[in-house]
């Protein structure tokens, strides 16, 4: 298992460096690195520090957060289809963020943006856990997820269409598909602290999730409090998905693909899958964000387009296996 973590960490580091080197300004790798670290005069340090660094940092953090929450929700719901983007948690976060932006709350206090997104995500994941729970079947989870994401998507579109701003309605695509273009360090500082707190909370659920694989009664016999586990999970997911969505929009499928690929490598142990999925998610999102800048550099291709192209076939495959009765 050690080689797996080392490989993933190296991959993330390499992709982070490539992300810093990717951009239309054509800055050489060494020049870019020097001006990033040492600063200096001219526009190059501004490009490296104010434009590319926040983009790479957010790619790392949002990807890691989505991978981590995907693995945690799948562990708790014991269902491989649970993924924040698909079952409406990110959608609810986007609705919260859009409400904060359009009501002007986020102008008053910048913190209102991650706070309302977090509230939206908490409502979404809370509803799901209440409806599907650890015992709910795949059908319940998917139906609840479809209902919540449809509601959140409609609410987001409604709020943006009601806005007096002519650009707002065009941004429905961003909130549904996600993008990291032109984010600044302000967004990093808004999103990162709550996400770290959420990651710490999810980290503590590892043992409980391991116990849960033996069944609920076995878990409670081992001293795992079901209520405590549930609340830590809901809070952790909301703290990660809310701020991540507030700055990057809804990016689906990362939390689905990554745990699915990595599960065999960690012998399906949830506590080991959590950190592995965080690293894997960071790698996937950084790679997707590099790809959108290389494929259509001038068009701001949305991240969700790429992750869906990779993830949707896998999702169908999972449904197929679930339907034919085999455990995934």
Summarize as ranges the residues that interact with other proteins (CB under 8 A). 23-25, 42-44, 46-47, 50-52, 101-102, 104, 106-107, 163-168, 170-171, 174, 182, 184-186, 297-300
Nearer to other proteins, 216 or 300 (CB): 300
Q: In angstroms, rounded to a whole number, what is the distance separating the alpha carbons of residues 48 and 33?
A: 8
Taking the complex as a whole, how short is the minimal distance between the CB of residue 163 and other proteins, in angstroms? 4
Q: How far is the CB of 233 from other proteins (least distance, A)?
A: 30
From residue 123, give the alpha-carbon distance in Å to each of 8, 73, 179, 320: 33, 15, 24, 29
Closest approach of Cβ 32 to other proteins, in Å?
11
CB of 60 to other proteins, least distance (A): 19
Which residues, 6 or more positions from 132, have their beta carbon under 8 angstroms from its beta carbon? 77, 79, 140, 141, 144
* Residue 218 in tokens: 């076995």
Minimum CB distance to other proteins smaller for 29 or for 316 = 29
Phi-psi region of 267 (alpha: psi -120 to 50; beta: other; left: phi over 0): left
| Distance from C-alpha of 56 to C-alpha of 292, rounded to nearest angstrom | 13
**Two tokens, residue 225:** 């409090």
Retrieve residue 72's tokens: 């945690």
Least Å from the CB of residue 61 to other proteins: 19
- Our CB check for other proteins shows the closer of 40 and 43 to be 43
Residues shown for the chain: 328
Residue 26 or residue 223: which is nearer to other proteins going by CB? 26
């Amino acid at each position: 298992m050690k080689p797996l973590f080392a490989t993933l960490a190296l991959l993330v580091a390499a992709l982070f460096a490539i992300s810093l080197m990717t951009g239309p300004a054509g800055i050489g790798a060494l020049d870019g690195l020097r001006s990033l670290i040492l600063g200096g005069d001219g526009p190059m340090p501004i490009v490296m520090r104010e434009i590319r660094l926040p983009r790479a940092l957010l790619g790392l953090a949002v990807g890691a957060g989505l991978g981590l929450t995907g693995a945690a929700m799948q562990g708790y719901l014991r269902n491989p289809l649970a993924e924040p983007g698909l079952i409406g948690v990110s959608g609810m976060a986007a609705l919260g963020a859009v409400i904060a932006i359009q009501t002007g709350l986020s102008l008053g206090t910048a913190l209102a943006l991650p706070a309302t997104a977090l509230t939206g995500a908490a409502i979404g994941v809370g509803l799901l856990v209440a409806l599907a729970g650890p015992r709910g079947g795949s059908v319940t989870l998917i139906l609840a997820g479809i209902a919540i994401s449809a509601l959140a998507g409609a609410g987001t579109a409604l709020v943006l269409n009601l806005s007096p701003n002519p650009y707002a309605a065009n941004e429905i695509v961003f909130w549904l598909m996600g993008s990291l273009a032109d984010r600044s360090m302000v967004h990093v500082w808004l999103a990162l602290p709550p996400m770290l707190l959420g990651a710490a909370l999810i980290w503590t659920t590892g043992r409980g999730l391991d116990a849960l694989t033996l069944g609920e009664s076995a878990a409670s016999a081992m001293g795992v409090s079901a209520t405590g586990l549930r609340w830590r999970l809901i809070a952790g997911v909301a703290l990660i998905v809310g701020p991540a969505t507030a700055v990057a929009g809804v990016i689906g499928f990362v939390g689905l693909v990554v745990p699915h690929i990595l599960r065999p490598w960690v012998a399906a142990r949830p506590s080991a899958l959590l950190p592995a999925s965080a690293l894997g998610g960071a790698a996937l999102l950084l790679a997707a964000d590099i790809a959108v800048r290389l494929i259509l550099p001038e068009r701001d291709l949305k991240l969700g387009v790429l992750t869906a192209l990779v993830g949707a076939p896998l999702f169908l495959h999972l449904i197929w296996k679930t339907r034919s009765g085999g455990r995934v």
